[in-house]
Structure 1
Amino acid sequence: MIGVDYLVLTLYMLGVLAVGLLFARLNRSASDMFAAGGQSPWWASGLSGFMTMFSAGTFVVWGGIAYKFGFVAVAINLCYGVAALAVGYFVAGRWKRLGIRTPAQFIGLRYGRTALHFYTWSMMVFRIVGVAVAMYSLAVVLVALMPLGEGNPLRDPATGHMSLTWAIVIFGGIVVVYTMVGGLWAVLMTDVLQFIVLNLAVIFVVPLMFMRTGGVAGFVQDAPPNFFHLTGGGYTWIFLAGWCAIHFFMVGADWAFVQRFICVPNERDARKSSYLFGVLYLVSPLLWLLPPLIWRVRHPLAPGATSAEIDHAAEQAYIMACQSVLPAGMVGLMVAAMFSATASMVSSQLNVFAGVLTSDIYERLINPQATQRRLVWIGRVFTVVLGATLLGIALAIPYLGGAEKVIVGITSLLVGPLMAPTLWGLFFRRINAKAVFITSGVCFAAGFLVKYGIQSQWLTDHAKTMDILLGVALPVVVLEIIRALGRSTSAGWQRVENFETAERAAAVKTTANRLPAIVVAWAMGLCGLLMAGLAINDPEDRGLLALFAITLWALAATVYGLSWWRFRAMQQEVSHAAS
């Protein structure tokens, strides 16, 4: 990275902080802070869900699989789209219909206080430690791209690059600040902006790489054997089917995704947000996995390369591909895109668990009389505490000796089986609180035995299949046995029905806020201005940069025009209703 790259990255960071401050004024209650007051546009919710699935590991892990096995990586990521479409059809509307403010509220109603604590603390440990590992991994990748001159206070003298500690503190601190100030509104809108930046960077890389590889025809002709097969390298059709099922549970029941369904105005918008998420994951994986795919064709593996050499080449494929073609300034944009991928995941988990601690622990158990203003303040305190904990874990990872991986590995044995009882509780009246503990106990014991107890080469060779059996098949079998043996409607089902009826009677119709569309339009316009500025200083790629600038300006004008048209239409509807 050079000076202009650092300028682009700095402007981006300032931009996301500005978004947090802009949306802070919308947070007047806990519902605003953690559910966007039910006023999020469906497209913002869908884009936010799409980005929540991303992390810096998306580039390293899936980029590496694309480099080694070709279109297998595309097929695996298409499963997310299939899962999200299924969730949109079966689940998303049901979550909105309940009238809950947080997903934990449903757990408390459906399964009771003990189950709520069990869900909250086990999932919080898993997610916070997992996100800390992701933040650390992101910092490792980014500092390798950020050399600094001598005398710079952020420089690590041993490497000549930005200090890993400062990278974690600065990048993580920015996420914590905008999440604390702006709440879910800031999370949603920064996710949308991050979606724009991510795709802008990737869309710019792809044509440049094709131009240097002989075009699409040259790419297809020079690709390795079986490069375009959708299975291989141990990833079978059975694995892909199981991957769809696992992520149906995840998108349908994980609290960060459920939050996206309850923050929109109505059930129809909840379904549309999940459909958008799904459609994007059906069309975008090929786009953002093309750089490592093309890189493999341009730089094939050396004959006789060792597995360690292959793994190293695969891990570096995405970064090397982008660095090979990006002009000055665009490397900074790519770094911003990689930051965006992890920032989305971090901010989502911070907000959802701050919401649980505020609404379902503090308000319900400690201070039921708390005012909405105090709940917003408490929510911000919890966001800072969780953020500080996350950053502390990320900074400590080099000294934990792999303990963080053990924690994630063990808690994952609990969290996976907790997704299925959540979904079963939405639809089946004979599932009670005992089902939660029986399912998690059986699956945890089986998973622990398989992962840490039995030393078997067969299990090692079929680890992916066992993950599917333990994460999907076993919880479903246990729950279906419990449902078949049940004889009466659980008390939790009745509590949920009573709550839903009361909320429906008291519900106030809400509409989507226009401000997100205005922010997106301005963001696109500013990105177009950035492209135009880079075009002036880059004669070689000036035409492509100018085309991007014009396209972004056209999109900005379209988005702003549509938002204004929709606003005027809503005003006319209100005036007709009044008359």
Structure 2
Amino acid sequence: MTTPDYLTLLLYLVGLFVISSLSAKRTKNQRDMFSAGRSSPWWAAGLSGFMTMFSAATFVVWGGIAYELGLVAVAINTCYGIAALLVGYFVASRWNRMNISTPAEFVRIRFGKTGLHFFTWIMLAKRILGVSVSLYALSKLLIALMPLNLNWAIVFFGSIIILYTMLGGLWAVLMTDVLQFIVLTVVVFMVAVLMIGRVENWADFMAAVPDSFFSPTADRYGWLFLCGWVTIHFFIIGAEWAFVQRFLSVRSPLDARKSAYLFGILYLVTPLFWMLPPLLYRGQVAGVDKEQAYILAAQSVLPPGLMGLMIAAMFSATASMVSSQLNVFAGGLTNDFYKALIRPKASERSLVLVGRVFTSVLGVLLVATAIIVPQLGGAEKLVVTINNLLVVPLYAPALWGLFSRKIGIREMVIVILVSFTVGAVLRFGFAGNPWIVKGDTLYAFAQYLADNTKNVEVLVGVMLPVAMLFAFEWLKKKDDKAAGEVTRMLSEPSAPPSELSDSRFDPFPATMVMTSVLVIGGWIFLLGLWQDESRTELMVFAFALLFLGGALRAWLVRQLRPPTPDVTD
């Protein structure tokens, strides 16, 4: 890392806090804090959902698979797009029509206080553990590039996310996600273009990669896995609170659907683009650590100053996920525990304050958990595995309850406990069990489970809970009592957006995009003037961004211009 790299990273961090401060001025009540006053533009909600799916794993895990196996990584990431499009068609508008402030409010209405406690605390523990591992992985990745102690890196990066999320609420999360999308797109596009320029002979490249490099499947990632991956992420995008929050934050059911469609289309067309650096790097340099392939590919082509932008992109990928989880769970604790169960008559000002306190407390818990991950030895892999075993069993009943009148709290608990228990027994009791040795009766079965873990996770983690829900739907004769309330809420007209969106056009989101594009373009232009390496490419990118920013400014001016009054004779 050079001085220009640190200046680039500093500029990015300053941008986060400027956006957070401006967002804080728009946060007047808890509905603004946790659902953006139902006034977010659909494109901002879609980009935010897109970024929420990112984490350090995008670069480390999927980048490693792209380097090792090729287009398989692209196929796996495309599954997110298919899942998001299905959610847009079947689910997104239904969430918006519920007229609720937080996803937790739906769980309380549909499954009662018992269901709220059961679901919230399990999911909170699940997400704290999962996000902590991601924050740890990000910090471990970045300390290889920066002279920071691992624990201090976790505290530093975690504190930044906590502060801007606490100050600006969901508006800050949405707008910083848009900034992070711009940063990520610019830097990955630059790395891909520069790496394509390094390929002198495509025939040599084809000869240097494995024969199966351009196949969309591999032994561990076959068609069954890909179908299961789509199903898993249909339930994640359709029911995980961070994504549901995006559908609640927009003005109308149509906007909720459009946000999901944007999310899906982006994940259909961009995975090849994101995975190009490690794909191309495999043809240029073989035999490196696959988990380091993405960062090594970037280091091989980025001039000084832009490596800082790459670090900002990696930080943004995880920061988006972390800030989303902090905000949505702080919203659930504020609205559906503190307000609903402790102080029903609490003022809006006090609810915003309590929301910020919950955001801070959850953030500190997350950072503390991330710090102890290295002390777990190999147990962080156990945490990730348990996390994965809970995905569909946890989300499927909640999403099912949005449509079905039969599923209640009893069925939810049965599906979660049975599916998790069966999955855990197969995963830990048989697969890889050192006490089951060759010659034992169960050895062949245990070996099959160990050799086909991905397919077994699909069969048990997806098909079992879904089959149980279908069985309950078919066998249960009576409707659940709480289902009627959901039906009534869905039949009511949508709630109006907050007073911030009373005008026909809200310039704030578009202004943030315009400013971000102009600042990034201007900074790349200065970097191009400062150095000779890749100056032509830097100038082309800079002028393209400045032109785009100028076009956005012209569009904004037209939108804000008062309408010309009609002149009649």
- Partner residue in 2 for 1:359: 335
CA deviation vs aligned residue, 1:404-436 (integer Å, no higher than 9, x gap): 544443354334302111221111222222220
The alpha carbon displacement at 1:447 in A equals 1.1
Deviations 1:379-399 (A, max 9, x none): 000000000111111112222
**Counterpart residue identity of residue 448, structure 2:** W
* Aligned-residue offset at 1:444: 1.4
Match in the other structure for 2:67: 67
Aligned partner of 1:110 in structure 2 is 110
2:104 and 2:289 map into 1 onto residues whose CA distance is 43
Alignment match of 1:189 (pick from 175, 200, 204): 175
Matches within 5 A, 1:390-539: 390-454=366-430, 455=433, 456-501=446-491, 504=494, 513-539=506-532
Matched residue SS, 1:361: helix
Offset of 1:242 from its aligned partner?
1.0
Partner of 2:281: 295
The residue aligned with 2:436 is none
Query: In structure 2, the residue corresponding to 1:112 is in which secondary structure?
Result: helix
User: What amino acid sits opposite 1:165 in the alignment?
Assistant: N
Q: Distance in 2 between matches of 1:129 and 1:279?
A: 30
Distance 1:227 1:523, change over 3 A: same
What's 1:257 paired with? 243
Please give the alpha-carbon distance, in whole angstroms, between the structure 2 residues aligned to 1:418 and 1:128: 15
What are the equivalent positions in structure 2 for 1:4-15 lying under 5 Å apart? Answer: 4-15=4-15
For 1:315 and 1:411, the matched residues in 2 are separated by 21
The one-character-per-residue Cα deviations of 1:168-193 (angstroms, maximum 9, x if unpaired) are 11111110000000000000111110
Judged with a 3 Å threshold, the aligned counterparts in structure 2 of structure 1 residues 191 and 487 are, in CA distance, closer, same or farther, namely same
Q: How far is 1:81 from its partner?
A: 0.5
Give the Cα–Cα distance (whole angstroms) in 2 for the partners of residues 370 and 572 of structure 1: 42
1:127 is aligned to 2:120: no
Distance 1:520 1:216 in 2: 37
Separation in structure 2 between the aligned mates of residue 363 and residue 512 of structure 1, nearest angstrom: 32
1:441 Cα deviation (Å)?
1.7
Deviation of 1:558 after TM superposition, in Å, equals: 2.3
The answer as to 2:305 corresponding to 1:329 is: yes
User: Matched residues in 2 for 1:255 and 1:512: separation?
Assistant: 28
Q: CA offsets, 1:340-362, max 9 Å, x none? A: 00000100000000000000110
The answer to whether residue 69 in structure 2 is matched with residue 79 in structure 1 is no
Q: Distance in 2 between matches of 1:390 and 1:475?
A: 29
Residue equivalent to 1:155: none
Q: Does 1:202 align with 2:192?
A: no
Q: How has the CA–CA distance of structure 1 residues 92 and 564 changed in structure 2, closer, same or farther, with 3 Å as cutoff?
A: farther
| Superposition deviation, residue 130 in structure 1 | 1.1
Unaligned stretches of 5+ in structure 2?
434-445
State the Cα RMSD in Å.
Answer: 1.9
1:210-269 deviations in Å (ceiling 9; x for gaps): 111126665446433121111114211111111111111111111100001110000111
Letter in 2 for 1:61: V
CA separation of 1:2/1:341 partners in 2, compared to 1, >3 Å: closer, same or farther?
A: same
Residue number among 328, 348, 351 corresponding to 1:372 in the alignment: 348
Looking at structure 1, the residues matched to 100 and 343 of structure 2 have their Cα atoms a distance apart, in angstroms, of 19
Q: Which residue of 2 aligns with 1:96?
A: 96
d(CA) in 2 for partners of 1:180 and 1:109? 27
* Corresponding position of 2:49: 49
What aligned pairs does 1:378-389 form with structure 2 within 5 A after superposition?
Answer: 378-389=354-365
* Contact 2:130 2:387 survives alignment (8 Å): no
Q: CA deviation at 1:565?
A: 3.5
1:304 — aligned with what? none
3-state SS of paired residue (2:212): coil
Kindly indicate whether the alpha-carbon contact (under 8 Å) linking 2:251 and 2:496 is maintained by their aligned counterparts in 1: no
Contact 2:46 2:259 in 1 (8 A): yes
How far is the alpha carbon of 1:497 from its aligned partner? Answer: 2.4
Q: How does 1:177-326 map to 2 (within 5 A)?
A: 177-214=163-200, 219-220=205-206, 222-301=208-287, 313-326=289-302
Distance 1:524 1:27, change over 3 A: same
Identify the range of structure 1 (257-266 vs 214-223) with the bigger mean alpha-carbon deviation: 214-223
What is the CA-CA distance between 1:543 and the residue it aligns to? Answer: 1.2
Q: CA deviation at 1:536?
A: 0.6
- The number of equivalent residue pairs is 549
SS of 1:539's partner is coil
- Alpha carbons 1:35, 1:102 under 8 Å: kept: yes
Report the AA paired with residue 185 of structure 1: W
Is the 8 Å Cα contact of residues 439 and 475 (structure 1) preserved in structure 2? yes
Equivalent in the alignment of 1:138: 138
Residues 314 and 405 of structure 1: CA distance in aligned 2, closer, same or farther (over 3 Å) = closer
CA 1:326–1:29: 2 relative to 1, 3 Å: same
Contact map agreement 1:210 1:216 (CA 8 A) in 2: no
Distance 1:539 1:408, change over 3 A: closer
Structure 1's consecutive aligned runs of 4 or more residues displaced over 6 angstroms after TM superposition are: 505-509
Residue 522 and residue 506 in structure 1: after superposition, are their counterparts in 2 closer, same or farther (change >3 A)? closer
Task: State the distance in 1 between where 2:505 and 2:75 align.
Answer: 34
Please give the TM-score of this superposition, normalised by the length of structure 2: 0.93
Which amino acid is 1:440 matched to? I
Q: Are 1:40 and 1:512, in contact at CA under 8 Å, matched by a contact in 2?
A: no
Provide the secondary structure at the position in 2 that maps to 1:226. helix
- 1:168 counterpart = 2:161: no
- Aligned-residue offset at 1:50: 0.6
CA distance in 2: counterparts of 1:176 and 1:192, whole angstroms = 18
Moved more, 252-261 or 447-456: 447-456
Whether the aligned pair in 2 keeps the contact of 1:41 and 1:512 (CA below 8 Å) is: no
Please state whether the residue corresponding to 2:270 is helix, strand or coil.
Answer: helix
CA distance in structure 2 between the partners assigned to 1:174 and 1:445 by the alignment: 38
Q: What CA distance in whole angstroms lies between the structure 1 residues aligned with 2:220 and 2:380?
A: 27
Letter in 1 for 2:344: P
- Answer yes or no: is the 8 Å Cα contact 2:180–2:317 preserved in 1: yes
Distance 1:412 1:230 in 2: 23
Q: Percent identity?
A: 51
Q: Which deviates the most, 419-428 or 182-191?
A: 419-428
Does structure 2 conserve the Cα–Cα contact (< 8 Å) formed by 1:122 and 1:415? no
Q: Note if contact 1:52-1:344 (Cα within 8 Å) is conserved in structure 2.
A: yes
User: Shift of the alpha carbon at 1:338?
Assistant: 0.4
Q: 1:163 to 1:427 in 2, by over 3 A?
A: same
1:506 to partner: Cα distance: 7.7
Quote the Cα distance in structure 1 between the aligned partners of 2:382 and 2:274: 31
1:301-345 CA deviation, whole Å, 9 max, x = no partner?
4xxxxxxxxxx6211111111101100100000011000000001
**Which residue number corresponds to residue 157 of structure 1?**
none
Structure 1: distance between partners of 2:274 and 2:385: 29
Change (3 A) 1:114 1:526: same
